[in-house]
Amino acid sequence: MSRVVTLKINGQDVSGREDETILQVARENGIDIPVLCYLEGLSAVGACRLCLVEVTGVSRLLPSCVTRVSEGMEVNTESERLQRYRRMIVELLFSEGNHICSVCVSNGHCELQNMAIKLRLDHIGMPYRFPVRQVDASHARYGLDPNRCILCTRCVRVCDEIEGAHTWDIMGRGINSQLISDMHTPWGESETCTSCGKCVQVCPTGALFVKGKSVAEMTKRPDFLPYLAMMRNRKNGS
Amino acid sequence: MNLEDLHTIAQQHHEADSKLEHILYVCTGTACQSSRSEDVLKAIQAELKARGLEKKCAARPGGCQGLCARGPLANLDHGKRIYQHLTPEDASAVVDSFESEPPERIQLDKQLPFFTRQVRVATQGGGLIDPTDLESYIAAGGYTALLDSLMHKTPAEVLQEVVKSGLRGRGGGGYPTGLKWSTVAKAVQTPKYVIVNGDEGDPGAFMDRAVMEDYPFRVLEGMTLAAYAVGASQGYIYVRAEYPLAVKRLQNAIKQAQKQNLLGSNIGGTPFSFNVEIRLGAGAFVCGEETALIASIEGGRGVPRPRPPYPAESGLWGKPTLINNVETIANVVAIVQRGGDWFASIGTEKSKGTKVFALSGRINNTGLIEVPMGITLREVIFEIGGGIPSGKKFKAVQTGGPSGGCIPEQYLDMPVDYESLTRVGSIMGSGGMIVMDETSCMVDVAKYFMEFSMAESCGKCVPCRVGTAQMYDLLCKISEGRATLDDLALLESLCDMVKHTSLCGLGQSAPNPVISTLRFFRDEYLAHILDKRCPAGVCQMKPEVMEVHS
């Protein structure tokens, strides 16, 4: 059994189990830390860097989604510096792809868009890169528009960890990274895809969508995940 | 094979050598090979045979002798004479000169500071050990440290020597090696692994390549000592596939060591067993980061993961894993052989021992050197390195590759150690030193390294993936005279953000070349931005193309 520890988040006294992360404890106590790659029920990868927090006595910023709580820890999730970095990260994401909300199926239900609003981002301070990316509409029921992909890898993880198909993965390196199905074959020709649609539901933007949805019609429901994860844990006896 | 056998082999080797009148070692490192040193060696061997001297004189393949700029090099009778710029056609002149003076053209002054100022620990032997022959290594004292430790010392005693030596990681970070070892030794899970990181990838760095090529047995012996100290049973050497000669020599060394029972089961007749395998990297710079390297060995994409847990606790296949750089491991042999106190007596208070540096760029003596820590940059560049060619003026020296910075003239008298380099905004890094003179543009240098970091970013975390690309675009804009002061401000805030928010060392250090050149050469940036002019005359100005609508 893990020990129970007490710590401070933004000056508020909270308690948590030693095997819990800062993010989990913060959420239990109603403290919101912004995330894009993290999704409850999937493994945490610490890739979006939005959930970085300051911990007293540690010179580096720590990703709260993978950092465990410890006794006497003092966490700050809301400093001016963190907010500045978060805004820049979201700006980088907007500049990287082709995010045109007005014509996007996820307009109004998009986690990237909501994040921008939450961080009060009113313009993008760096040049757009305008990459040329092909839409994959080869699947019968779903579509992939990589212009809206932020490479959070939620789809990769849900497909691998929950569905067990591992249809999705990332190809290439650095700024040329891209999401691919199977060995870079069109999604519709994928031999591993079970068409379960979990990837579509966990995708934070309009990159993965259900065909036939028009602008702003694509609402996503990733809430099945915590239940699935919980049932699995129960089945595995942990 | 036990200690006595080692002595017998060494003795026989020395006896055989003493019967020879002359021994010539021809460098067969990558640099000299590229200027036909293997043909030179063959020609000299043929010449000896033709003159019926092959019983009296020997010409052997050796390791890197350091002064790559003058290669192919050869060394006669352990430093009696050093030859330079050899060609196969020089074979008869070389053999003639065994007894008399050689022509000036191929003679190299052995009293050059380049040779006299070096202190060799990791590269002990100075290229005068045949890298393909185990006996040659044993004759030079090889494997006594290992067999002596296995028979007479406990793992804790071996570990204690390394702790006492104060050795710090030579791959760049400078983490105390003894501490790393003791953490792995303390871990309870088994099996444990030892990984040697030979994924050297910075532009202008070739230290680890030389150590693996020239002293493959030393790498194996050091690894085995490490495995004994921490209780590991399996080792991996991760080498980039771009180092074919290093791979070949390591494979050969593993085979020979296994044959002589210096690797494998019950090493030297003791209960200790340890196996080593080579893993090839596909040349991704990020795989030098330990968690990415582990992912690559496991067969996955070479992508780092957040630490903790550190590899010492959960590394390869989730087991406790010791990862050391090639040069670090090569130092271990001498430390165990001669004691931690001896090693600690070299160098400065916080940076012990010696460091191998690869000198390149605008410097006369391009090549590989090993010097004690605490030596000044001026000594390295102007004495050992022989200064700047064609009378040009020194401008800066770049250390640490794409993770390091440029150090200007005012710090030339600074001692070379981990702390001092960090203080001036650079890092020790793995040991590349690129010297630049007045014809180098610092914006162009920063752009070059940022292009490297952008291309080598794995793409996992947002700041590094997109941040390096944005910074590169901004640097292009500046170097082409299209930028404004707002662009410079954006560049600086991106540097700060990428440095503090990236996931692994690659991203965290990618802005360093920009930060350090901005710190010392801000006027050059401003000249590009405000005057649309490159002071060094390197950058081509491309002022904004005006669009004309008719």
Give contacts of A170 with chain B, Cβ < 8 Å.
Answer: 301, 459
Per residue in B227-247, pLDDT tens?
999 999 999 999 999 999 999
- Sign, CA dihedral B251-B252-B254-B259, equals positive
- Chain A nearest-CA distance from B179, in A, is 20
Asked whether B386 and B416 are in contact (CB, 8 A), the reply is no
Give contacts of B455 with chain A, Cβ < 8 Å.
Answer: 173-174
CB–CB contact B462 A63 (8 Å): no
d(CA A142, CA A162): 19
| pLDDT value of position A219 | 94
Nearest CA in chain A to B285: A173
**Max CA-CA distance within chain A?**
53
Give contacts of B473 with chain A, Cβ < 8 Å.
Answer: 127, 129
Give contacts of A179 with chain B, Cβ < 8 Å.
Answer: none
- Chain B nearest-CA distance from A151, in A, is 8
The full 3-state SS of B111-166, as one line of letters, equals CCHHHHCCCCCCCCCCCCCCCCCHHHHHHCCCCHHHHHHHHHCCHHHHHHHHHHHC
The residue with greater pLDDT, A237 or B492, is: B492
Instruction: Enumerate residues 6+ apart whose C-beta is below 8 A from B252.
Output: B132, B216
Question: Can you tell me which residue has the tokens 């050992």?
Answer: B384
Using CB atoms, which residue from A84, A172, A175 is nearest to B469?
A175
Nearest CA in chain A to B499: A60
Ordered DSSP codes for B234-252: EEEEEEETT-HHHHHHHHH
Looking at every residue in chain B, the average pLDDT score rounds to: 94
Give contacts of A47 with chain B, Cβ < 8 Å.
Answer: 460-462, 503
CB–CB contact B465 A151 (8 Å): yes
Nearest CA in chain B to A53: B501
| pLDDT value of position B147 | 96
Asked whether B183 and B312 are in contact (CB, 8 A), the reply is yes
**Exposure on the CB side of residue B413, measured as CA atoms within 13 A:** 1
Give the CATH architecture of domain B3-110.
Answer: 3-Layer(aba) Sandwich (3.40)
**Residue B321: strand pairing partners:** B193
Name the residue among B391, B368, B336, B395 with its Cα closest to residue B115.
B368
- Chain A nearest-CA distance from B514, in A, is 18
CATH 3.40.50.720 fits B354-437, yes or no: no
d(CA B218, CA B327): 10
B368 phi and psi angles, rounded to 5 deg: -115, 130
Nearest CA in chain A to B503: A47
| B52 CB within 8 Å of a chain A CB | no
- Alpha helices per DSSP H over chain A: 22-28, 80-96, 111-118, 154-157, 198-202, 224-235
List b or e across A187-220, with b for residues whose CB sees 16 or more CB atoms inside 10 angstroms. bbebeebeeeebbbbbbbbbbbbbeeeeebebeb
Per residue in A37-77, pLDDT tens?
999 999 999 999 999 999 999 999 999 999 999 999 999 99
| pLDDT value of position B548 | 57
Asked whether B508 and B499 are in contact (CB, 8 A), the reply is yes
B142-344 maps to which CATH number? 3.40.50.11540
Work out the percent of chain B whose per-residue pLDDT is above 90: 91
B50 phi and psi angles, rounded to 5 deg: -60, -35
Nearest CA in chain B to A175: B465
CB–CB contact A174 B501 (8 Å): no
Per residue in B331-362, pLDDT tens?
999 999 999 999 999 999 999 999 999 999 99
| B259 CB within 8 Å of a chain A CB | no
| pLDDT value of position A237 | 60
- Chain A nearest-CA distance from B493, in A, is 9
d(CA B483, CA B498): 21
A and B: number of Cβ contacts within 8 A = 92
Specify the 3-state DSSP secondary structure of B8.
Answer: helix
| pLDDT value of position A101 | 96
Using CB atoms, which residue from B458, B467, B473 is nearest to A173?
B458
Asked whether B311 and B189 are in contact (CB, 8 A), the reply is no
Give contacts of B306 with chain A, Cβ < 8 Å.
Answer: 45-46, 63, 66
Quote the Cα angle for B246-B248-B251, to 5°: 105
CB–CB contact B301 A170 (8 Å): yes
CB–CB contact A126 B470 (8 Å): yes
SS3 content of chain B, % helix, strand, coil (to 5): 45, 15, 35
Ordered DSSP codes for B404-454: SEEEEGGGTTSB-SHHHHHHTT---TTSEEEEEETT--HHHHHHHHHHHHH
Per residue in B147-175, pLDDT tens?
999 999 999 999 999 999 999 999 888 99
- The chain A residues in contact with chain B (CB within 8 A) are 45-49, 52, 60-61, 63, 66, 84-85, 88-89, 92-93, 95-96, 125-127, 129, 150-151, 170, 172-177
Using CB atoms, which residue from B457, B458, B462 is nearest to A48?
B462
| pLDDT value of position B395 | 96
- Chain A nearest-CA distance from B149, in A, is 39
Q: What is the phi-psi region of residue B119: left when phi exceeds 0, alpha when psi lies from -120 to 50, beta otherwise?
A: beta
What are chain A's domains? 4-78 (3.10.20.740), 84-211 (3.30.70.20)
Least confident of A87-91, B124-128, B144-148, B274-278: B124-128
> Average pLDDT for residues B259-276, to the nearest whole number?
95
Give contacts of B465 with chain A, Cβ < 8 Å.
Answer: 96, 151, 174-175, 177
d(CA B278, CA B296): 13
d(CA A72, CA A86): 26
**Residue A144: strand pairing partners:** A136, A208
At residue B547 the predicted structure's pLDDT band, cuts being 50, 70 and 90, is low
Tell me the CA end-to-end span of chain A in Å, nearest whole number.
11
Strand order in the sheet with A62-63: A12-17, A4-9, A74-76, A52-55, A62-63
CB–CB contact B501 A45 (8 Å): no
Per residue in B435-467, pLDDT tens?
999 999 999 999 999 999 999 999 999 999 999
Give contacts of A176 with chain B, Cβ < 8 Å.
Answer: 459
Using CB atoms, which residue from B456, B470, B503 is nearest to A174?
B456
Chain centroid, CA A238 distance in Å:
25
d(CA B343, CA B355): 12
Every domain of chain B and the residues it spans: 3-110, 142-344, 354-437, 446-530
Per residue in B94-116, pLDDT tens?
999 988 888 888 999 989 999 99
pLDDT at B293 over 90: yes
Using CB atoms, which residue from B454, B462, B469 is nearest to A89?
B462
User: pTM to 2 decimals?
Assistant: 0.94
Using CB atoms, which residue from B456, B493, B503 is nearest to A46?
B503
B446-530 maps to which CATH number? 1.20.1440.230
Question: Can you tell me which residue has the tokens 């050391």?
Answer: B324
Per residue in B316-325, pLDDT tens?
999 999 999 9
Give contacts of A93 with chain B, Cβ < 8 Å.
Answer: 462, 466
Asked whether A50 and A152 are in contact (CB, 8 A), the reply is no
d(CA A17, CA A24): 10
Asked whether A41 and A229 are in contact (CB, 8 A), the reply is yes
Give contacts of A85 with chain B, Cβ < 8 Å.
Answer: 497, 500-501
Give contacts of B457 with chain A, Cβ < 8 Å.
Answer: 173-175
Q: Which of B301, B464, B497 to mutate to test the interface with A (most CBs of A within 10 A)?
A: B497
In the numeric block, which tokens belong to residue B176? Answer: 């105390």
**Which secondary structure element, helix H or strand E, spans residue B81, and what is its range?**
strand B81-83
Asked whether B482 and B311 are in contact (CB, 8 A), the reply is no
Walking along chain A (238 residues) 10 residues at a time, the average pLDDT comes out as 91 96 97 96 95 96 97 96 97 97 96 97 94 96 97 97 95 96 96 96 97 95 86 70
Supply the ipTM of this predicted assembly: 0.95
Burial class of residue B34 (count of CB atoms within 10 Å of its CB; 0-12, 13-18, 19+): exposed
In the numeric block, which tokens belong to residue A202? Answer: 């966990």
Give contacts of B456 with chain A, Cβ < 8 Å.
Answer: 173-174
In the numeric block, which tokens belong to residue B268? Answer: 């030297």
| pLDDT value of position B218 | 97
| pLDDT value of position B544 | 67
Using CB atoms, which residue from B284, B469, B497 is nearest to A85?
B497
* Residues 271 through 310 of chain B touching chain A, CB cutoff 8 Å: 284, 301, 305-306
Give contacts of A175 with chain B, Cβ < 8 Å.
Answer: 454, 457, 459, 465-466, 468-469
pLDDT at B545 over 60: no
Angle between helices B326-338 and B216-230 (to 10 degrees): 70
pLDDT at B543 over 80: no
> Average pLDDT for residues B49-68, to the nearest whole number?
92
| pLDDT value of position B137 | 95
Q: What is the phi-psi region of residue A235: left when phi exceeds 0, alpha when psi lies from -120 to 50, beta otherwise?
A: alpha
Chain centroid, CA A159 distance in Å:
14
**Residue A12: strand pairing partners:** A9
d(CA B359, CA A107): 56
